[in-house]
């Protein structure tokens, strides 16, 4: 990722509502990954986000949230566990990020949350969270 592009969802502002908190956290996580800052604070905040806060996101905000999380988690996994990439199946199925106290793999995020279906065309993935923040 080159240039000074802002993470999806634009620059964080001080006037964001509490409902935008998950989006702001996802931007912080992606920004930290891009500039090499510690990611633990953002990752801890993602783990603590409530399902209600995720469910309250508008569809565009939810899409930006999950894209930011997916991109940051991919880079984190490549940095922290590069040997996993030798087996792409293991890489995409490994726990990559915890959101709302739920460990998610990159496959979970991409196919269960962003696309809303199994990548194998066998129907929908099982519900990851009972709140229904998956598609």
Query: What are 63-101's pLDDT values in tens digits?
Result: 999 999 999 999 999 999 999 999 989 999 999 999 999
Instruction: Look at residue 12 and tell me if it is in a domain.
Output: no
Residue 37's Cβ-side half-sphere holds a number of Cα atoms within 13 Å equal to 11
Q: What is the DSSP letter of 72?
A: H
Instruction: Look at residue 4 and tell me if it is in a domain.
Output: no
Instruction: Look at residue 132 and tell me if it is in a domain.
Output: no
Instruction: Look at residue 82 and tell me if it is in a domain.
Output: yes
Instruction: Look at residue 120 and tell me if it is in a domain.
Output: no
Instruction: Look at residue 61 and tell me if it is in a domain.
Output: yes
Instruction: Look at residue 55 and tell me if it is in a domain.
Output: yes
Domain count, the chain: 1
27-31 long-range contacts, Cβ below 8 Å, gap at least 24? 27/68, 29/68, 29/69, 29/72, 30/68, 30/69, 30/71, 30/72, 31/7
Question: Which residue range is the domain that position 22 belongs to?
Answer: 18-114
Instruction: Look at residue 127 and tell me if it is in a domain.
Output: no
State pTM to two decimals: 0.74
């Amino acid at each position: 990722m080159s240039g000074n592009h802002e993470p999806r969802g634009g620059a964080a502002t001080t006037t964001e509502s509490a409902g935008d908190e998950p989006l702001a956290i996802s931007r912080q996580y992606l920004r930290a990954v891009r500039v090499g800052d510690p990611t633990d604070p953002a990752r801890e905040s993602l783990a603590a986000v409530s399902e209600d806060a995720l469910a309250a996101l508008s569809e565009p905000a939810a899409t930006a949230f999950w894209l930011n999380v997916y991109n940051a988690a991919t880079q984190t996994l490549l940095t922290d566990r590069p040997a996993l990439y030798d087996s792409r199946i293991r890489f995409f199925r490994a726990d990559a990020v915890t959101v709302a106290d739920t460990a998610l793999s990159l496959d979970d995020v991409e196919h269960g949350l962003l696309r809303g279906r199994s990548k194998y065309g066998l129907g929908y993935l099982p519900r990851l969270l009972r709140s229904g923040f998956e598609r």
